[in-house]
Amino acid sequence: MKLSTRLSRTYAVTSLAARVYLGYKAISVREKRFGLRHNKAERKRLRHHTWSANRFFDVAVRRQGLLIKLGQLIGSRPDLIPDEYIDVLSRLQDAVPPRRFNVIRRVVESELERPLDDIFDDFEEAPIASASLAQVHRARLKPSASAPEGRVVAVKVQYPGIEKIVDNDLQNTRLLLRVLAQFERNLDFTPIIEELSHNTPQELDFINEGHNAEIIARNFAGREDVIVPEILWEYSTRRVLTMEYMEGIKITDVAALQRECIDTQAVAQLVTDVYCEQFFLHGMFHADPHPGNLLVQPGPALVMLDFGLCRQYDDTFRLRYARMMNAMLRWDLPALVRAYKELGIKVKDPDDPAIYIEMGRAFMETSRPGEGYADADLVAEANLRFEKAMRANPVTDIPRELLLIMRVSGLLSGLGKHLESRVDVTQTLLPYTQAALDGAK
């Protein structure tokens, strides 16, 4: 990447972040110090929400890379993020501008070392999906003995030069969060940076993604309601991944689900069960459940796509995590404090249990009765309590695996909001945590 391009990306990101941050800060200062009435301050915040979301969308679409992924993450959290952001940034799930077909053709032919027409009878020029790192095209392979009419496949093609763009975006994000930490000293963004730096290179390796898909498929081999596309290794490389083409309805397209008479509550329960099974029984989980990666077929059955971001953890961590969740769900405080320490969550004063209890409350008290997702107002209240506890006894270390589980749980909560989930989270999770612990005896 040219120096001028790197500087241009850095300027675009830093100037946007500064204007968004300072806009909110100015409203808060005017409200707290200069007597701006609360209702007028709220109107200003709503306008700033809309302005910020539109500017972020514009910059993300122009610059792409990790900005698209960040926008997709924000747009997947209607349980926490203001509607103005959701309305705009949720479009990044479907509206990422694709690369030109001649660029995609060159990548495929270079990686597979053959002309496109020698491999495929048909290769649709318009992608069926385009995202931050790659886009996917529907194609039909040449006829074979096993598929005389030619097999219909999905071909995922990585954007050329995306590694350098991602590296630049990571550097920009690292710089921005360090600057922000100077203004908001109660916030430590180091774990976020470490997690981004660890995960992103794995998502750029499609061989790794293909192996992840096969592991997840084996783990769910006994279930007909979980579907993972088959990987076709003959037509796959580090930058091109060819797989079985899957039909389905986007999980957040509630209207389409209802037209097909698919019970959205059954879908919500299925997603919750599938992730509980991964977290507590398999120890290997699909870590990017945003709406573009989950489809629904009648039954319902869940189609899982995009395995670039997965995590395998060992049985020791799996059982410690199960023990922590089991204690939290039963609200066994002594066991919960022990489990947090055993899991590797470190605080400045380990003999003060208040911070551990607030962590538990942040999970247990952020949903309203009868709702299977976090409520924004309750989350805000929990955050205030947690910040107070953090000032008294700061958290100094959180295991990387737990950070990723927290991210996934947040995305699942966003899906729950879309589906208006009424899943009883406690009653659903407890049998899985207990099964994990019983299996270890």
Quick one: how far is CA 68 from the chain centroid? 12
CA distance 120 to 142: 5
CA distance 174 to 190: 8
Give the number of C-alpha atoms closer than 13 A to the C-alpha of residue 92, restricted to the C-beta side: 31
Residue 320 has pLDDT above 70, yes or no: yes
* Averaged pLDDT for residues 34-55: 85
Q: What percent of the chain has pLDDT over 70?
A: 91
Pairing of strands 301-304, 226-227: parallel
Question: At residue 412, what are phi and psi to the nearest 5 degrees?
Answer: -65, -35
Residue 8 has pLDDT above 90, yes or no: no
Residue in 418, 422, 423, 420 with CA at minimum distance from that of residue 86: 418
pLDDT 10s digits, 106-116: 999 999 999 99
pTM of the model: 0.82
pLDDT 10s digits, 384-422: 888 788 888 888 888 888 888 988 998 899 999 999 999
Per the omega criterion (within 30 degrees of 0), is the bond before 300 cis? yes
Confidence category of residue 180, pLDDT binned at 50, 70, 90: low
Beta bridge partners of 303: 227, 295
Angle CA(402)–CA(313)–CA(309) in degrees, nearest 5?
Answer: 75
Asked whether 325 and 352 are in contact (CB, 8 A), the reply is no
Angle CA(270)–CA(203)–CA(74) in degrees, nearest 5?
Answer: 60
Both tokens of 43, joined, read 């109107």
Q: How far is CA 311 from CA 130, 174, 285, 399, in A?
A: 23, 23, 6, 13
Q: Delineate the domains of the chain, giving CATH numbers in brackets.
A: 3-97+163-200 (no CATH), 98-160+205-245 (3.30.200.20), 248-441 (no CATH)
Both tokens of 322, joined, read 């199960």
Q: Which residues contact 97 (CB under 8 A, 6 or more apart)?
A: 61, 64, 130
Q: Please, where are the H alpha helices in 151-263?
A: 162-183, 190-203, 206-219, 254-259
Asked whether 285 and 279 are in contact (CB, 8 A), the reply is yes
Q: Could you count the other beta carbons within 10 Å of the beta carbon of residue 299?
A: 14
DSSP states along 299-317: TTEEEE---SSEEE--HHH
pLDDT 10s digits, 266-284: 999 999 999 999 999 999 9
Contacts 24+ apart (CB under 8 A), 175-179: 175/10, 175/14, 176/13, 176/14, 176/17
Residue 227 has pLDDT above 70, yes or no: yes
pLDDT at 350: 87
36-48 as b/e: b if 16+ CB within 10 A: eeeeeeeebbeeb
CA distance 399 to 401: 5
Residue 335 has pLDDT above 90, yes or no: yes
Range in 144-148, 276-280, 353-357, 435-439 the model is least confident about? 144-148
Length of the chain: 441
Range in 9-23, 224-238, 346-360 the model is least confident about? 9-23
Range in 188-192, 271-275, 373-377 the model is least confident about? 188-192
pLDDT at 285: 96
pLDDT averaged over every residue in the chain: 87
Dmax (CA) of the chain: 78
